[in-house]
């Protein structure tokens, strides 16, 4: 059985990536797998404060870990400079991922082209780490453009996008708008699931994972 290892990126920050990571991980558990959730880079939190990895572990009931943390709430490049340390390199970050075996659901920070250093982005990291991507689209004004730009950027870099998860991140989505988004993305990406607007909880993740499971199974 080959490992299922994916990189979860978003159309923006605050679009529901952490909740999507938890849902994917929980769906994998329902398929008899034992995934681990990784947060590639956590920014905006001091040492000791629980971050996205801890939240995913609690929501999905899986092992989780954080690879790098910076206190400044910014992109990893700016956060590293503010901390007075060398910016991250995609290959070095990928080697940390390689230290984990089995199924991995790896969460980025912000969008696909958020910079790690002056020359590399999370897209470079995903490619070097040999991770296919799943795109989280936050259902808000402008998300169609952001989704299409992300899909185009991934295609230009030969980064496979296995599918997309839509998240009503800011408010409940009207059916008409959801239909518009689905129409625009049709033929460009496979929609794996739609997460409604609500506060993340273990019960909600469990429910959404059950709906996501049949769409994840063919990817294994």
Distant-in-sequence, close-in-space partners of 3: CB < 8 Å, separation ≥ 6: 101, 102, 103, 104
pTM of structure: 0.97
Instruction: Please confirm, yes or no, whether 17 is among the known catalytic residues.
Output: no
**Burial of 199 from C-beta contacts in 10 A (0-12 / 13-18 / 19+):** exposed
**Residue 58's domain is classified under what CATH number?**
3.40.50.300
pLDDT of 142: 95
The chain-wide mean pLDDT, for the chain, equals 97
pLDDT of 1: 77
41: domain range?
5-219
**How many folded domains does the chain comprise?**
1
Q: Which of 17, 39, 188, 190 is catalytic?
A: 39
Q: What is the pLDDT of residues 66-120, one digit of tens each?
A: 999 999 999 999 999 999 999 999 999 999 999 999 999 999 999 999 999 999 9
Mean pLDDT by 10 residues, the chain (220 residues): 95 96 98 98 95 98 98 98 98 98 97 98 98 98 97 98 97 94 97 95 96 97
């Amino acid at each position: 059985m080959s490992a299922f290892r994916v990189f979860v990126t978003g159309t923006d920050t605050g679009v529901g990536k952490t909740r999507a990571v938890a849902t994917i991980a929980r769906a994998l558990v329902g398929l008899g797998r034992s995934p681990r959730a990784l947060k590639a880079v956590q920014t905006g939190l001091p040492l000791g404060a629980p971050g996205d990895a801890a939240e995913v572990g609690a929501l999905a009931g899986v092992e989780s870990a954080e690879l790098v943390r910076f206190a400044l709430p910014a992109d990893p490049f700016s956060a590293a400079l503010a901390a007075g340390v060398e910016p991250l390199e995609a290959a070095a970050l990928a080697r940390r991922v390689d230290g984990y075996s089995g199924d991995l659901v790896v969460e980025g920070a912000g969008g696909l082209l958020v910079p790690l250093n002056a020359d590399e982005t999370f897209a470079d990291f995903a490619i070097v780490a040999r991770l296919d991507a799943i795109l989280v689209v936050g259902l808000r004004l402008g998300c169609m453009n952001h989704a299409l730009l992300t899909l185009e950027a991934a295609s230009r870099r030969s980064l496979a996008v296995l599918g997309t998860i839509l998240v009503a991140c800011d408010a409940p989505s009207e059916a008409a708008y959801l239909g518009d988004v689905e129409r625009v993305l049709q033929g460009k990406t496979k929609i794996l699931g739609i997460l409604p607007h609500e506060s993340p909880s273990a019960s909600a993740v469990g429910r959404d994972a059950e709906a996501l499971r049949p769409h994840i199974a063919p990817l294994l």
